[in-house]
Amino acid sequence: MLQGIRKLCCELLDLKDAVENLCGNVRTKYLAFLRISEEVVEMKHELTEMQKHISSQGLLVQDLVTGVCSELEDWNKSCGLNDVAEKNPQVSEEQDLTLSELHNQRMILLDNIDVLLAEHKVEEAVEALVVEERKYPELKGSADSLSEEANSYRLAFLERKAKAEGQLVELVKQPLVNIAERRRALSCLIKLGKGPSAHQLLLKSFRDHLQKSIDVFLPSSSFCPRIFSATLAKLVFSSISATIKESGLIFGDNPAYTNRVVQWAEWEIEFFIHLVKENAPSSETVSALHAACICIQASLSYCSLLESQGLKLSKLLLVLLRPYIEEVLELNYRRARKAVLNLVESEENLPVSPRFVSPLSAFATSSDDALIDNGLRFMYIIDISSMLLPAVARVAFYGLPSDVEEFVFVHIRHDGGDERDAATAAA
């Protein structure tokens, strides 16, 4: 029995040693794995840097060879070696060798550009394309004056240029692209000679972003109809302001691009007015009148801010808003006039509103029911007028054209006599 226990203890001790050795081996191998992983990451980074270095060195060697070939050609022409080449076949062979090297360098350049485009390093590819175009202006011209080999290289070069342009366009069109990446992509398109297309992409980018913001906001317009137009104006005019700033930073003060921004802003203003009319409350309600006042106030305030950026849109805004404002004022005026006349002509007793109890307390001891009823009618007329006239005054104050103001106040002077007579009769 005792020997069995000792044997069991020995086996347990051996098992313990084996487990400890196993744990030590696992820990050692785990640390070795971590160290190897770090070395792999470092090696990957070094390989990337080496690849960039090789690409830059290749471009440098190509530039050097191209410059040397150009100088050799100039030197040959100045020394009259063309005549010597006809007499000396060895010189002709050297010239053929130089042309072969130039061809090889061009193929290397095209391969490098293909690699950069495959790795989506489009900015580096654009720089290489621009440098090559500066060295050989005939790449931008026609193929009439070029040899067959030179024209073949020109077509291959233009094909790479089109690929680079396509990648830049796709980058700008991505919905999640940040401002810095979009700005760099548009700058590369300008370097490739695609300034008008780049500017059109910029305007479309801001238009798409504005449309998404409006689509998110429109469902909530029914909850706040009075301030809907002010919030919508903030979205539209903020987008216009940001577009002006971005266009100035990328394209400068070029009149052609500035005119395009102005035209685009005018289209956005027309779209803004359309949305205001489409989502505003019914034109004959007081809410529509207040919403129109807030729309004019907010829109003209934003227009004054845009004037500091050189963009004047207030006149266009007022011209587009005029039919809508006229309709709202006309229908509200008719509604108020009809309510006043119906109130005066009605012979039924009016219910006493809680807010009229205090003004009528002075007549509480009077037994003249007609006096109290007429006083109540007079207060209702004043209440109706108080909802209409301040809004009309705000519309006129915020810069509505003078002929529209005249339209409003002529109607008040012309037809307002009936209301004044009714109010006098009620009193």
Per-residue pLDDT of the chain (427 residues; tens, 9 = 90+): 778 788 888 888 888 888 888 888 888 888 888 889 888 988 988 888 888 888 778 778 877 887 777 777 766 665 554 444 444 444 444 444 466 777 788 888 888 888 888 888 889 999 988 888 888 777 776 666 667 777 788 888 888 889 999 999 999 988 888 889 999 999 999 988 888 999 999 999 999 999 999 998 888 777 777 778 888 999 999 999 999 999 999 998 888 899 999 999 999 999 999 998 888 788 777 778 888 888 888 888 899 999 988 888 888 988 888 888 888 888 877 877 776 676 656 555 555 455 544 554 444 444 455 555 555 555 555 555 555 555 554 544 444 444 444 444 444 444 444 444 444 444 4
Half-sphere exposure of 89 (CA within 13 A, CB side): 0
What is the crossing angle of helices 228-251 and 179-191, to 10°? 40
Place of tokens 């504005």: 210
pLDDT for 35: 86
**How far is 19 from 281, CA to CA, in rounded Å?**
81
Cβ atoms 344, 425 nearer than 8 A: yes
Q: How many residues does the chain have?
A: 427
Cβ-count burial 360-398 (b if 16+ within 10 Å, e if not): eeeeeeeeeeeebeebbbbbbbeebbeebeebbebbbeb
pTM here is 0.61
Measuring CA to CA, which residue among 386, 387, 385, 395 is closest to residue 420? Answer: 385
Task: Compute, in degrees rounded to 10, the torsion defined by CA atoms 55, 61, 63, 67.
Answer: 180
Cβ atoms 288, 328 nearer than 8 A: yes
Q: Is 347 helix (H, G, I), strand (E, B) or coil?
A: coil
**How far is 309 from 295, CA to CA, in rounded Å?**
22
Cβ atoms 126, 192 nearer than 8 A: yes
**How far is 290 from 226, CA to CA, in rounded Å?**
6
